[in-house]
C-alpha cells in the first residue's frame, strides 16, 4: 500500500518523560533524524480527542461560544468544543459538550471531518460533527468555563472567519466545510 517515501525515516534511541497531567504529557525523544544525524524531538501526547460541533438549525443559524483562552491570553469566539476521552465514543462526547456549553440537543449527527491540529509537535486528533434538528435545554458549563453563547446566522459566522474574528482551527475548518456543503447543495 505505502511506498518507500511513506516509511518512518526517524529512529528513536531514547526517551524521557518531561511533564504529565490528566490532559497531556510531554516526552523528549533522542533521535537519529532522516539525514542520519542525532538530535531531539519533543512530542505532546493528548489524552482526549478534540471534539468540535457545528450546530445548525432549520433557519441556518449556528451558535458560537465566547470565552477567554488562557494559552492565547485573549478572548475567542468559537464553535462548541471540548475534550472527549479516548475510551468513549467521540459522538457521545460531542453530545455532552453541545449540551454542556449551549443547552442544545440534536436529533441528527453527521461526522464532517477528522484533523490533526498541530502534527509537527502533537498527536491531537480532532473530530468535527454537524448537529441538526436542534432542541433547546439548559446549559451546564464546567466550573473552568465562563461562556457567552451567541446565536447567529451562518453567513455572519462565515464572514467572521473571513475577517479573522474567528481564528480557532476547529471552528474555521468546520465553518468552511459547512459553507462548501451549502454551496454544493448537500445541506439544505
Number of Cβ atoms within 10 Å of the Cβ of 143: 5
d(CA 54, CA 98): 9
d(CA 8, CA 10): 6
Question: Torsions phi, psi of 96, nearest 5?
Answer: -65, -45
Task: Give the predicted TM-score (pTM) of the model.
Answer: 0.91
Q: What is the pLDDT along the chain (188 residues), one digit of tens a residue?
A: 557 788 999 999 999 999 999 999 999 999 999 999 999 999 999 999 999 999 999 999 999 999 999 999 999 999 999 999 999 999 999 999 999 999 999 999 999 999 999 999 999 999 999 999 999 998 877 766 678 999 999 999 999 999 999 999 999 999 999 999 999 999 98
Number of Cβ atoms within 10 Å of the Cβ of 67: 16
Dihedral of alpha carbons 104, 143, 118, 160, sign: positive
Domains of the chain, start order:
4-46 (no CATH), 48-183 (3.90.79.10)
Amino acid at each position: 500500500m505505502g511506498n518507500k517515501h511513506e516509511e518512518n525515516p526517524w529512529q528513536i534511541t531514547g526517551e524521557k518523560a518531561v511533564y504529565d497531567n490528566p490532559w497531556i504529557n510531554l516526552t523528549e525523544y533522542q533521535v537519529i533524524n532522516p539525514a542520519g544525524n542525532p538530535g531531539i524531538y519533543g512530542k505532546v501526547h493528548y489524552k482526549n480527542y478534540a471534539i468540535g460541533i457545528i450546530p445548525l438549525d432549520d433557519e441556518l443559524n449556528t451558535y458560537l461560544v465566547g470565552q477567554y483562552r488562557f494559552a492565547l491570553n485573549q478572548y475567542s469566539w468559537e464553535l462548541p468544543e471540548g475534550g472527549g476521552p479516548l475510551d468513549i465514543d467521540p459522538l457521545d462526547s460531542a453530545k455532552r459538550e453541545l449540551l454542556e456549553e449551549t443547552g442544545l440537543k440534536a436529533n441528527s449527527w453527521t461526522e464532517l471531518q477528522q484533523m490533526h491540529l498541530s502534527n509537527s509537535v502533537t498527536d491531537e486528533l480532532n473530530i468535527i460533527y454537524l448537529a441538526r434538528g436542534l432542541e433547546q435545554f439548559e446549559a451546564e458549563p464546567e466550573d473552568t468555563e465562563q461562556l457567552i453563547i451567541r446565536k447567529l446566522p451562518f453567513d455572519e459566522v462565515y464572514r467572521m472567519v473571513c475577517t479573522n474574528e474567528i481564528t480557532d482551527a476547529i471552528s474555521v475548518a468546520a465553518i468552511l466545510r459547512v459553507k462548501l456543503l451549502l454551496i454544493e447543495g448537500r445541506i439544505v
